[in-house]
Amino acid sequence: MPTTEFHIEGMRSDDDLRNVMNAIQDLPCISHSEVNLADGRAVVEHTSMLSEGEIRAAVEDAGYTTR
């Protein structure tokens, strides 16, 4: 199963963390995700039907920058 890892800029609070987690979990084909507020890192396990770009786009649509 593919794993996508990236950094998220702009998360400063638990509300930001929830917003990012909700954006990721609303996507289809996610099997597991972890978002760390302290280091701004996300690790997402997903099927090959979902691309890294789609995951990043969901986070960016929620108002955060990915790198």
User: Each residue's pLDDT tens digit in the chain (67 positions)?
Assistant: 999 999 999 999 999 999 999 999 999 999 999 999 999 999 999 999 999 999 999 999 999 999 9
Q: What is the pLDDT, as a whole number, of residue 7? A: 98
What is the pLDDT at residue 62?
Answer: 98
Range of the domain at 53: 3-66
pTM: 0.95
* Burial class, 15, CB count within 10 angstroms (exposed 0-12 / middle 13-18 / buried 19+): exposed
Q: What is the CATH number of the domain that holds 56?
A: 3.30.70.100
- Tokens found for residue 57: 């786009």
Task: Count up the domains in the chain and report the number.
Answer: 1
